[in-house]
Structure 1
Amino acid sequence: MNRREALKSVAFLMGSAISATTMGVLFENFVLPEKEKNFVSFSATDEQILSEFAETIIPTTASSAGAKAAGLGTFIPMIIRDCYPANFQKLFADGLKEMQIKCSEEFNKDFIAMSNEERNQLMSSLRDDAIATNKAPSFFLIARDLTILGYYTSEIGCTQAREYLPIPGRYDGNVPYIKDQKAWATN
């Protein structure tokens, strides 16, 4: 099974947690031409920013490590370069640059230097902009979707953030739910 097929399977299971744009890219019935792969490149600083961006969306908690520990700083650019067509890659790279400009203009800092409160404020602004312009796809929506997809397909997401049974067993679609129990990663 190749990466695209594996992501399709997980995206299908996650249902409405992922936007129609990301679902469209993953379910698109085409093979990405080699000339479109790696159309854009991301620096180590970009990966660090994306890692912190993802951590803002899914932070570390007392019960599980967050998006940064799950390696989303490298996962997001890899998926963008390997699975998204060139026009989406450019849109994403341009959106990342625009976010950094917005950080400088509104907070007089780069994203890495911002406090958690400032990052949350920025995220709310990016989300509101994406909703207000009804612009799909947008950098924010793609980054958010890949954060969710990457985290819940990582070992940390499957074993720490969700209930996990490491021993294969029979499928039981009627497992009793205990109040405050994590969602099941496997069953």
Structure 2
Amino acid sequence: MERRELLKIIATFTGAAMIGGDLILSGCKSEVSTDLTFSAKNLTLLNEIGETILPKSDTPGAKDANVAEVMKTVVTDCYTPESQAAFMQGIAQMDKESQKKFSKDFMSCTPEQRTELLLALEEEAKTYNEAQNKKDDPRREALKKEDKEFNFVSSPKHYYTMMKQLTLLAFFSSEEGMTKALRYLPIPGKYDGAYKYVKGEKAFCS
């Protein structure tokens, strides 16, 4: 699967354009220098959040792909400072939300509790992101009238949206995701317009 196609799929699944998508596609780093520090605890938490989103079954899960390392790289290299700040605050907020809901931190929650929390955050994120988009609309339109739309930078999305997007990006860009979760078809492969799809089979990637 080409990266551009993957970003489109992630946007569909999360209801938001891939944050940092332009830099991810170009392979470039942000021109803004930042000094982000991800602790070992942060990375462990991100892997567990990822595993809740993409749990291991008969195929690898997010932890098998060590999605936290990719999250760290993308946030550091491709996010704006505002989105970086929102993401780092989100790491701390995750435990606060868990304490509020279950009186314990995320790492102490059962898989069922973790799933319940993330589903609640998904709904919260939808409302939050819609509000951010509405707030951005006047600024976007003003730049468009001046033919400066390329200068537009959207407001940071909800931290859970970022975490979910990065989990999907990291996993389906990994060897585990491409060769074991998806059905791997080496490039150039063979075209078969009459290939029969069986419901429930894994999708192809290349």
Among candidates 29, 32, 47, match of residue 30 of structure 2: 32
Q: Does 1:160 align with 2:158?
A: no
How big is the shift at 1:27?
2.1
Q: Secondary structure at the match of 2:62?
A: coil
Structure 1 residue runs without a partner (length 5+): 1-5
Equivalent pairs counted in the alignment come to 177
The answer (yes or no) to whether the contact 1:8–1:27 under 8 Å persists in 2 is: no
**1:33-86 CA deviation, whole Å, 9 max, x = no partner?**
1513xx322110010000000000000012x11001011122112211111111
The answer (yes or no) to whether the contact 1:51–1:73 under 8 Å persists in 2 is: yes
Among candidates 88, 100, 105, match of residue 105 of structure 1: 100
**1:103-140 CA deviation, whole Å, 9 max, x = no partner?**
12322211111101110111011111112333551100
Structure 2 residue runs without a partner (length 5+): 133-156
Partner of 1:68: 63
**C-alpha separation between the residues in 1 aligned to 2:92 and 2:4?**
28
The answer (yes or no) to whether the contact 1:40–1:90 under 8 Å persists in 2 is: no
**C-alpha separation between the residues in 2 aligned to 1:41 and 1:162?**
33
TM-score, normalization by structure 1: 0.82
Q: Secondary structure at the match of 2:118?
A: helix
Indicate how the Cα distance of structure 1 residues 18 and 173 shifts in structure 2: closer, same or farther if over 3 A, else same.
Answer: farther
Give the partner amino acid of 1:35: S
Partner of 1:43: 39
Partner of 2:12: 16
Among candidates 76, 83, 89, match of residue 84 of structure 2: 89
Indicate how the Cα distance of structure 1 residues 76 and 117 shifts in structure 2: closer, same or farther if over 3 A, else same.
Answer: same
Indicate how the Cα distance of structure 1 residues 27 and 19 shifts in structure 2: closer, same or farther if over 3 A, else same.
Answer: farther
**C-alpha separation between the residues in 1 aligned to 2:119 and 2:5?**
30
Partner of 1:3: none
Indicate how the Cα distance of structure 1 residues 121 and 14 shifts in structure 2: closer, same or farther if over 3 A, else same.
Answer: closer
Q: Which has the higher helix share?
A: 2
The answer (yes or no) to whether the contact 1:58–1:66 under 8 Å persists in 2 is: yes
The answer (yes or no) to whether the contact 1:11–1:18 under 8 Å persists in 2 is: no
Q: Does 1:147 align with 2:143?
A: no
Partner of 2:48: 52
Q: Does 1:184 align with 2:180?
A: no
**C-alpha separation between the residues in 2 aligned to 1:53 and 1:177?**
32
Alignment RMSD (CA, Å):
2.5
**C-alpha separation between the residues in 2 aligned to 1:173 and 1:10?**
22
Q: Identity across aligned pairs (percent)?
A: 29
